[in-house]
Amino acid sequence: MEIPYAAQTLFPLIWPLIAVAGALIRTRESPWPQARLEIWQRWWAVAALGCGSLWMVFAFLGAPGVMADVIGFTRSPFQFEIAFANLGLAVMGFRAASASATARERITVGLGAGMFLWGALIGHVCQWFANGDHAPGNTGGVLVCDLLFPAVLIVLAVRSKRLAAAVEEPALV
């Protein structure tokens, strides 16, 4: 059974959609901005970065031939390396989702994830334009995820840090 191109290219977007849905549901009754921001950070870290990256581990290790086809490459040892790079991202995402994670730690996790994912994004775009690689795993949803997973985590953590600093500052009269 062949999976349609659109389904393959859009599948990675399931992880940010789960993060957004979970955060929206959990923040409905939260009156405090800090609490809502914390919920958003945790959902983004665990669902988007953590589970999204863990899915890539299983996909690259469990079905390397399928993944090679999906990204438009031939099967190679490179896929094993990508699997374990994604395992590192998953561990960082799960750590960033913990209750003890600080805004600074989440910014660092976002930057670390960004170094890999933004590099991957550049690689996907280069393959797209230089070699005409329009495979579903090289264009579409993966580009959005590579850009947003770290960027949103960083933005939320910076906002959290600023909100915490504003709450701690004494009011000027």
Q: Summarize pLDDT for 18-51 with one digit per residue, the tens.
A: 999 999 999 998 889 999 999 999 999 999 999 9
Q: What is the distance between the alpha carbons of residues 83 and 42, in angstroms, rounded to a whole number?
A: 23
- Note the pLDDT of residue 173: 54
- This prediction's pTM: 0.91
Find out whether 103 and 158 touch, Cβ atoms under 8 Å. Answer: yes
The two three-digit tokens of residue 149, written as one number: 């997973």
- Note the pLDDT of residue 2: 73
Residue 169 pLDDT level (bands cut at 50, 70, 90)? low
What's the rounded mean pLDDT across residues 128-150? 95
Residue 1 pLDDT level (bands cut at 50, 70, 90)? low
154 pLDDT more than 90 = yes
- Note the pLDDT of residue 170: 60
Residue 3 pLDDT level (bands cut at 50, 70, 90)? confident
Q: What is the distance between the alpha carbons of residues 115 and 95, in angstroms, rounded to a whole number?
A: 18
66 pLDDT more than 80 = yes
The total number of residues shown for the chain amounts to 173
Find out whether 91 and 46 touch, Cβ atoms under 8 Å. Answer: no
End-to-end CA distance of the chain: 69
Residue 166 pLDDT level (bands cut at 50, 70, 90)? confident
The two three-digit tokens of residue 31, written as one number: 């009156």
- Integer CA distances (angstroms), 161 to 39, 41, 52, 106, 157, in order: 14, 12, 25, 10, 6
Distance of CA 110 to the CA centre of its chain: 9
172 pLDDT more than 60 = no
- Integer CA distances (angstroms), 73 to 82, 137, 159, 170, in order: 13, 10, 39, 57
Find out whether 23 and 44 touch, Cβ atoms under 8 Å. Answer: yes
